[in-house]
Amino acid sequence: MKYTPGTYYAEIMGGGCGTLPNEKKTPYIGIDVHITHMADGAEWVFADEGDREIKLFLSDAAWPHTTRRLASIGFNGDFDRPEFSAKNVELICTEGNNGYEDWDIAGDWVGARADRTPPPRETLKLMRAKWKTDAATRTAPTGAPSAPPARVKDATPDVAADVSDDEIPF
């Protein structure tokens, strides 16, 4: 099953290190997750459940990006036996190359570019003041959805149990 781009909520099932079967033999840490919910506006709705592996690369170039993601889910630092203190994680799914799902751990780094140089502090201060005085920016924030409720047994009533034999028309 293929997931559509969006924000998902998943249980962290475990993880381990691996190596891509490419020429460079790129090392990565894979985080095994079980997807349970998808964000719908500011609420979580049940999603088609499924398992995915979130690959975080361990090359020198990827190291700064990977360490932020691992820290956000409480990685224990043991690449032989990785464990995570977080039990759940918010994920972002985008459409990657050739239509494949591209998964990332949600955080302020999603969509950020490493080569982006911020404007001078004074410019940022002026933009912040302009934002605060612009009426168009005063809409109510939707915010990120809160965590979904704990799993509950399906509460659909058993209709057959509420109907007597005398009420069945056949």
- Find the distance separating the first CA and the last CA of the chain, reported in whole Å: 41
Q: What is the DSSP string of 41-91?
A: TTEEEEEEEEEEEEEEE-STTTHHHHHHHHHHTTB-S-SSS--BS-SEEEE
Amino acid occupying residue 116: R
pLDDT at 158: 47
pLDDT, mean over the chain:
81
> pLDDT tens digits for 63-75?
988 999 999 999 9
Rounded average pLDDT over 92-118: 77
pLDDT of residue 156: 43
pTM of the full predicted structure? Answer: 0.65
Per-residue confidence (pLDDT) for residue 97, from 0 to 100: 82
Domain ranges, ordered by start, for the chain: 1-150
> What's the pLDDT tens digit per position in 24-46?
999 999 999 999 999 998 899 99
Query: What mean pLDDT do residues 77-95 have?
Result: 93
Burial class (CB in 10 A: 0-12, 13-18, 19+), 7: middle
Residue 90: which pLDDT band, with cuts at 50, 70 and 90?
very high
> Which H or E run includes 39?
strand 27-40
Is the pLDDT higher at 8 or at 122?
Answer: 8
